[in-house]
Amino acid sequence: MKRRPVILAIMDGVGLSDNAAGNAVKNAHMPNLEYLIKNGAYTTLKAHGTAVGLPSDDDMGNSEVGHNALGSGQIYSQGSKLVNESIASGELYQTDTWKELVNIDADATLHFMGLLSDGGIHSNIAHLIDLVKRAKEAGVKTVRVHALMDGRDVPETSGLEYVEKLEAVFAELNDENFDARIASGGGRMYITMDRYDADWDMVERGWKAHVLGVGREFANASEAITTYREELGVNDQDLREFVIVEDGKPVGTIEDNDAIVFFNFRGDRAIEMSKAFTYGEEFDKFDRVRVPKVFYAGMLQYDGDTNLPENYLVQPPHITNTLTERLVEEGINEYAISETQKYGHVTYFWNGNKLNKVSDALETWVEIKSDMVPFEQRPWMKAAETTDLLIEAIDSNDYGFLRINYPGGDMVGHTGSYLATLISVETVDLQVGRLIEAAKRNDAILIVTADHGNAEEMFEKKKNPTDADAPKTSHTTNLVPFVIYNADVELKDGLLGLSNIAATVTDLLGVDKDPVWNESIIKVIK
C-alpha cells in the first residue's frame, strides 16, 4: 500500500481559552480551523509545565521546549528545571567551570550577563542571585551584572521590580570586601539577544555597552529605565542600551583576565553573543574594537554540535532517539520550513538541539527571511511565502513528512497589540485553508496543532474591574488544539501532550515508533 505523506502545521503561540476578553484566537475569524475540527479527528493537548519538561504546571510552555518534545517524542528535563536541580544539589558549584570562574585575580571582575526576570523561558533572576551569593562565598571581590530587560515573558513594564530586587540583594551583600553592581543593560529586543543571525546590529550594540562601556550614561539602571520610558514610550523589551557610570567612568567594562557567565539557560538568544566572545579572527559580524581575554561560560552549552560555548555550568539535556532519526532509518524524505524567527525551531530544536542535519540526503530545510520591522507592523509576517514553498514541496510528491511553523500568533502576540495579533491569527488560518486543499489534492494527511499558548490571552488580568486593559506579552499555560484531517482515525481519551505527536506521525506513516517514545494519540486507524 502506498505511503501517504504527512504534513504537520504548527500554529506557534495559538492556545485555547474560553475567556473572550483579549482572546485573539477565539475572536478571530478562523473558518479553516473550524472546518478541521468539524471534519477531522480533534482533541486538545498540554503544551506547558511537566508535559514539556519544566518544573511545574505553573510554568508556561515555549517554542523551544515545545519543539524538543514534538521532535523527540519524549519529555526531557529542560532549562529552568535542570538549573534548579543543579543549584539545589550543589552540583553546579562543584563543576570545573564554576571553580575556574571564581578563581580570578583579586583585581579582576566576574560578570553576569542575561535576561533579568523570572519569566522562566530564558532565565530566572533567582539563579542569578544564587550565583552572586556563591561568588562572594568563593572569595570573588567584584561582580558586575549586564542586565537585559524582559517585558516579553513577564509584564511589559515590570523591569524596575527586578532591578530593585537585585539591588536589594546587592545592598545586603556589599561590604569592604565585596562590590556588586549593575553595569549596563537594555531591552532584550534591542540589544544582545538576537537569534538565527537575524540582526547582528543588536549584538554589536550589546557588545559596545557591556564590553566597551559605550552607550548613553546613567547613574543607575532605574534612572535609565524610567528615562527611556518617558522619552520614547517603549516597554522593557525595546529599551535602548545604557551604561552605568560613576565619576564619569563606566563601572563595569569587561577587561582582560575577567570572567563572564551568560546566565540564560535557553540557547537561541545566547549563541550570537557567545560567538562574539569566543571566536577569534574568523569572527566577521562586526568590529569588536577590542576582544578581552576572558574566561567565558554559559549557563548551559547552547549548541552541542559546535561545542558553543566550550565552558558551561549545567549539562543540557542530551536528546537522542528523535523522530528525524527514526524516519532517516526508514529512508523517508523530510521537508522543514519556516521564516527566520522560527526556522531554528523546526530544525535545531526539532532535531534535539543540533545545528546539523541527521541526513543531508533525506532532510530539506528551507528558511524564509523574516521582515526586519516590528511584528505588529507586518502581522501577516511571511505566512504566505512559506506556504507557497510548502505547497510546492507537497505537490512534488518527493517528501513523506513535511512540517511548517507559522510564527505569527507568538511573535505578534509578544508585541502586546491585540489588533495585530488578531490579524496574524487570521492570516495563519488562511494559510491552513490552502494546506487543506493541498492535502486533498495529494491524498496527504494534515495535522494542525500549536506548540504553546500566547495569542489567546492578550490582556493582563485586572486587579480591579475599573482598571484599563493592560497588554499581555507572555506565553500562557493553556491547552492547544490538535487535529488530524484526511485520515480515518479515532483518538485516545484523556489529556496527552506534545511529546505524543512523534508516535502519532509514525502511526500515520505506517512506521514502528521508537520504543523510548511516549504513546501515540491515535487509538484506532480505521
- Residue recorded with cell 559596545: 208
CA distances to 106, 143, 378, 399 from 133, in Å: 17, 10, 44, 53
Residues 6+ apart with CB under 8 A from 199: 372
Computed on alpha carbons and rounded to an integer, the radius of gyration of the chain in Å comes to: 23
Cell 516579553 identifies what position?
152
Are 362 and 327 a contacting pair, CB within 8 Å? yes
CA dihedral 276, 281, 286, 287 (to 10 degrees): 110
From 503, 491, 406, select the one nearest 32 (Cα to Cα): 406
Helix/strand/coil for 92:
helix
CA separation for the pair 246, 425 (Å, rounded)? 48
Residue 279's Cβ-count burial label (10 Å; 0-12, 13-18, 19+) is: middle
Number of Cβ atoms within 10 Å of the Cβ of 176: 5
Cell matching residue 292: 578581552
In the structure, how many helices (H) and strands (E) does the chain have? 15, 19
56, 63, 80, 123: the active-site residue? 63
Separation of alpha carbons 319 and 114, rounded Å: 25
**Residues 6+ positions from 107 with CB-CB distance below 8 Å:** 141, 142
Is there a catalytic annotation at residue 63? yes
Q: How many residues does the chain have?
A: 526
Backbone phi, psi, residue 364, to 5°:
-115, 120
Cβ pair 450, 425 in contact under 8 A: no
Would you report the helix, strand and coil content of the chain in percent, each value rounded to 5?
A: 35, 20, 45
Residue 218 CA to residue 222 CA, distance in Å, equals: 9
Known catalytic residues are 63
